[in-house]
Amino acid sequence: MVLADAGCEVSLWGRRAALAETINTTGTNPDYLPGVELPKGITATADPAEAARGADFTVLVVPSQTLRENLAAWKPLLAPDTVLVSLMKGVELGTAERMSEVIQEVAEVPAERVAVLTGPNLAKEIAARQPAAAVVACVDEAVAQRFQTACMTPYFRPYTNTDVVGCELGGAVKNVIGLAVGIANGMGLGDNSKATLITRGLAETTRLGLAMGADPLTFSGLAGLGDLVATCSSPLSRNNTFGTNLGRGMTLEETIAATKQTAEGVKSCESVLDLARRHGVDMPITETVVSIVHDGKPPIVALKELMSRSAKAERR
Ligand SMILES: NC(=O)c1ccc[n+]([C@@H]2O[C@H](COP(=O)([O-])OP(=O)(O)OC[C@H]3O[C@@H](n4cnc5c(N)ncnc54)[C@H](O)[C@@H]3O)[C@@H](O)[C@H]2O)c1
Ligand SMILES: O=P(O)(O)OC[C@H](O)CO
């Protein structure tokens, strides 16, 4: 929608031919954005070759854990010199790779051909054309500027950044902190507790970023604090809602069954913890989320353990 509103010709791929046909004939996507009229200039197709043909930008947005498999199939179809843009906010399980790393590896393209769009961008609010800002990150600033121009509209304001590592970590770790805040919310905890999780969550994100060569200032920007605030305060966030259901006492199976869309933090909390361990970084909130979501630790027990850690200085 944003690209079409910005004047681009958009070819949208989806797995289901019937849904692509509905989008083309009704100008709406009733399964994902009911009641929203899509702009002219979007053509949907279930044929990836048709979607990829001649594209200046190939925008990738599937669940993070399926990207490698999807992109391997699409690689022969990509237009020469196309810039691959990731909208995904996850870290791959097993490899602990960021999405731009998976893209470079699978598509065999240099970092200069890969950009990331991230920031406080809850889909339903964007679809309602409510004002929002975002970050386009690429190691090549000129490439980031090209995509910035391609997606700038009166309601969508993208900034550029060359710190791809920081921008991607901000997007992936905020989902884990969103789960933690949701759990606190579901347990009936108040705003002091949630503000503590957000602030200390940002501290552990920044520690990981520093260890991985990111610019610490990125984390006080849209990809860090901005997205953290949106995710941790909105019931529209799938990660936040997932955590709230767990905190209210639903089992993991019940919570998964109640979640219709992708809550990236559920899988990425494990890969973020993997990254932290590889880089020797302490991420106690992430560790707590993993223990609740994957090891079945009752939230009340995990909370007690988190609060009884040894005393520390705020900044180390
Ligand atoms: N929805 C948002 O507000 C939002 C905002 C910014 C970024 N993102 C990111 O976008 C990514 C995707 O999330 P989403 O909101 O689109 O999720 P979603 O669950 O709404 O949609 C995922 C889409 O991927 C398809 N899909 C599922 N498995 C697939 C597979 N194996 N191969 C191909 N397609 C598959 C689904 O059919 C669906 O159309 C995530 O990384 C998320 O963090 C989402
Ligand atoms: O619904 P969530 O939790 O995946 O969050 C959506 C976006 O990432 C918010 O910027």
Q: What is the pLDDT of residues 245-273, one digit of tens each?
A: 999 999 999 999 999 899 999 999 999 99
Is 2-164 a CATH 3.90.1150.10 domain?
no
- pLDDT at position 315 over 90: no
- pLDDT at position 239 over 90: yes
- Encoded amino acid at 99, one letter: M
Query: In the chain, pLDDT over 90 holds for what percent of residues?
Result: 99
Place of tokens 């199939």: 73
Average pLDDT over residues 222-242: 98
Residue 239 Cα to ligand 1 middle (Å): 13
b/e 51-68 (16+ beta carbons within 10 angstroms → b):
bbeebebbbbbeebbebb
SS3 of residue 217 by DSSP:
helix
CB 67 within 8 A of CB 61: no
Q: What is the pLDDT of residues 107-120, one digit of tens each?
A: 999 999 999 999 99
- pLDDT at position 214 over 80: yes
Length reported for the chain: 316
Which ligand does the CA of 243 lie closest to? 2
- CATH topology identical between 2-164 and 170-307: no
pTM passes above 0.95? yes
- The CATH number assigned to the domain with range 170-307 reads 1.10.1040.10
Q: Percent helix, strand, coil in the chain (nearest 5)?
A: 55, 10, 35
The residue whose CA is least distant from atom 7 of ligand 2 is 122
The residue whose CA is least distant from atom 6 of ligand 1 is 121
Q: Where are the domains of the chain?
A: 2-164, 170-307
Q: In degrees, to the nearest 5, what angle opens at C-alpha 24 toward C-alphas 20 and 28?
A: 90
Residue 87 Cα to ligand 1 middle (Å): 9
- pLDDT at position 122 over 80: yes
pLDDT at 4: 98
pLDDT at 316: 72
